[in-house]
Structure 1
Amino acid sequence: MPAEVVIKGTGGGKLKANKPPLKIEVDPFDSIRESLKPDQALLLAESPLTVVWRRTHPEFLRSDRVIEPWRMTFSERAGIVFSPLKQLGEVLQKKVENKDSKDFEWMLTIADEEGKVFQQYSGSDYPPKEIVWNGQNDQGEWIRAGKAYSPVYVFTDKGGYPYTRAGEPIRFKGIVHQERDGVHVSLDSTILFGTDKAAKDPTKDGLGLLRASADLIKRRYSGTPIRVESYAGSKTLAETQAQAVENYLIRELMLLPQDIATDSLKTPYAEQRLEIILVNR
């Protein structure tokens, strides 16, 4: 037999045991958990209208057409931004703080393609850091899609010496604005129907512009009655172009014939365009 072995501690302390805290999983919603489950009968229920549409318009309910944000043409910012103070710094070739601009009179002229003044802003001092223009002039006229508008800045110092600077021309494929009869989506006919504006069907670029317009309507104006107005070189051509756009929108927006109408008018080349009007109810 082995000798008895005795182990003695030298610290004089007591033996301690660290126990982990007791952890009990408790579901605070246990008593009502069953009542939180969705009613499967409701989730599986079908509206009689849905059943009818599934039988009569399966191509609509199974359509793979979706809103595609990357096709967006229209700016989300409600206005065109001009920066007179920054332009003053460009002509002086130095950074200009607001306090340094008090001695400069300023004028911003927005001219159309014929050089006529479309809109104008001016001040006797302190050119503003930013002007946001909605595209409408003081006479209530809106800029036109496809037309170029040029901003021209003139700054005059206290000695009467003028500094002039022309900004980048402004041109839009499409413009959205509110008028009395509804929201107008004005589109450039050179994009829709070629540089001569005479094609009977939309070009490849024109289809992209129409798709962007359709997506805009899906996002903001779904269910609104639509009127398509075509302005072309002849009445017949205008009717043909309006019909082509109407057919496209019926397909893309899944419209019923009574939800969309067309109008057409012969106009000079400079005034030719296409308007999609979301009519006030």
Structure 2
Amino acid sequence: MIKKRSSSDSSERGSSRACSALCFILITLSLIFLSYAAASTQEVLDTDTSPRGKESSEGLSEVVIKGEAKDTVKVEKAPYQIEIKLEEIVSPSIEETEALMEGGLEILRQGDLQQFTRLNSKQVIRPSLPSLPEPPLVTFHPRRSNLKIKRWKLTISDEKGSIIRTLQDKGSPPRTIEWDGQDERGKIIKVGTLYSYNFVGIDQDGKPHTTSGKPFQLWALKYDERDSVNIEVANRVLYTSERDEFSEDGKLIMEKAIDCLRQYSRYPFRIEIYTDEDPAVWEKAKALLSNYVSGSLILLPEDLRINVKRKDVRGLTTCFIIQTR
């Protein structure tokens, strides 16, 4: 027996087929959409919550989403290339230097340097110069003798033959006897004055044995007094006959005197010229001293105190007096 299908069964089968076809289409479209989205961008989701204790105003933890674009663009910069030709830089400077060395340009003339004389201070103490004699001024060296000396005596006399100082002791004389340059009254000897000495040794039999020394004199000396340091120079050695220049020996003495003034630069000083002539004759010497001392010590000439006085007991000298008290 053959049963016929009803019309209701046929309609149900048709609707079922239509639903299946629709689902297939939707699934296919979904796959296409997802593959396209994955190809264009990749999103990396970081679902780490914010630190504990930090929540949003609604009480929910914050979620940070980080993304990185795939389609980045890389740019490469070409390295700089600068060409330097040394000959273009060096050659012109060499030419200018050679032109200068040939004497084409005069930097300073001798006349231009005159305005800078005050700056030429020479503010350097020069120990290589011969020192000014200062106490002890004279050292004697008695000759050794086979005689047994009981006592000895050394006498110093001035140019008039007057004994100004006596040094003596018992027993054999020492190898060296130093004299401070003072006479019996404590006054220092004078520059330019001739002095002589005699050494007498008395043996055990009481016989004297006398030795006379060669005369000596000092042209300059430095000595201390109670409230000053003095430098004395004999006028006939310091200046030429016209008194407008220093002599050769005077130049060396003046350089050392300037060094001494630098050592006592904190103290005021004055210069006194002692003469037995009319003071007007010594105006050239005053100008010479003023220019030399002011130029060497960077002082104004009007600030210097230079006086010409009549000869005193110290003789014909030029004296630098540094007032230390």
Partner of 1:123: 169
2:267 to 204, 224, 230: 224
| Residues in 2 aligned to 1:77 and 1:177: alpha-carbon distance in whole angstroms | 7
Report deviation, 1:210.
0.8
Partner of 2:290: 246
- 1:163 to 1:198, Cα distance in 2 relative to 1, 3 A: farther
| Residues in 2 aligned to 1:126 and 1:113: alpha-carbon distance in whole angstroms | 29
Matched letter for residue 210 of structure 1 = M
Report deviation, 1:249.
1.0
Aligned-residue identity in percent: 27
Does residue 72 (structure 1) correspond to residue 130 (structure 2)? The answer is yes
Report deviation, 1:198.
6.2
| Residues in 1 aligned to 2:122 and 2:322: alpha-carbon distance in whole angstroms | 25
1:193 to 232, 236, 239: 239
Conserved in 1, the CA contact under 8 Å of 2:151 and 2:202?
A: yes
| Residues in 2 aligned to 1:135 and 1:123: alpha-carbon distance in whole angstroms | 18
- 1:138 to 1:127, Cα distance in 2 relative to 1, 3 A: same
For the residue of structure 2 that corresponds to 1:168, the secondary structure is coil
Conserved in 1, the CA contact under 8 Å of 2:121 and 2:295?
A: no
Does residue 209 (structure 1) correspond to residue 238 (structure 2)? The answer is no
- 1:127 to 1:193, Cα distance in 2 relative to 1, 3 A: same
Report deviation, 1:79.
4.1
When Rg is computed on C-alpha atoms for both structures, the one with the higher figure is 2
- Post-superposition Cα deviations, 1:151-189, rounded to whole Å, max 9, x if no partner, equal 210112122221111223332221111113410001121
State the aligned residue count: 210
Does residue 237 (structure 1) correspond to residue 281 (structure 2)? The answer is yes
Partner of 2:223: 177
Higher deviation after alignment, 267-276 or 182-191 = 267-276
- Post-superposition Cα deviations, 1:33-75, rounded to whole Å, max 9, x if no partner, equal xxxxxxxxxxxxxxxxxxxxxxxx9654454564333223325
For the residue of structure 2 that corresponds to 1:69, the secondary structure is coil
| Residues in 2 aligned to 1:240 and 1:216: alpha-carbon distance in whole angstroms | 24
Conserved in 1, the CA contact under 8 Å of 2:123 and 2:297?
A: no
Report deviation, 1:145.
1.7
| Residues in 2 aligned to 1:139 and 1:269: alpha-carbon distance in whole angstroms | 14
The 5 A counterparts of 1:1-281 are 59-61=117-119, 63=121, 66-75=124-133, 78-83=136-141, 86-87=142-143, 89=144, 92=145, 94=146, 101=148, 103-194=149-240, 199-218=243-262, 220-234=263-277, 235-257=279-301, 259-267=303-311, 271-281=315-325
| Residues in 1 aligned to 2:313 and 2:242: alpha-carbon distance in whole angstroms | 10
Conserved in 1, the CA contact under 8 Å of 2:135 and 2:179?
A: no
- 1:198 to 1:113, Cα distance in 2 relative to 1, 3 A: farther
| Residues in 2 aligned to 1:64 and 1:184: alpha-carbon distance in whole angstroms | 22
Matched letter for residue 237 of structure 1 = V
Report deviation, 1:221.
1.3
Can you give the 5+ residue segments of structure 1 that lack an aligned partner in the other structure? 1-56, 95-99
- Post-superposition Cα deviations, 1:198-230, rounded to whole Å, max 9, x if no partner, equal 634322332221112112222x21232111110
Partner of 1:12: none
Report deviation, 1:273.
0.9
Partner of 2:20: none
Conserved in 2, the CA contact under 8 Å of 1:229 and 1:242?
A: no
RMSD: 2.9
Report deviation, 1:193.
2.1
- 1:69 to 1:146, Cα distance in 2 relative to 1, 3 A: same
| Residues in 1 aligned to 2:226 and 2:302: alpha-carbon distance in whole angstroms | 22
| Residues in 2 aligned to 1:238 and 1:107: alpha-carbon distance in whole angstroms | 44
- 1:62 to 1:243, Cα distance in 2 relative to 1, 3 A: closer
Higher deviation after alignment, 65-74 or 262-271 = 262-271
TM-score by length of 2: 0.56
Conserved in 1, the CA contact under 8 Å of 2:196 and 2:214?
A: yes
Report deviation, 1:143.
1.0
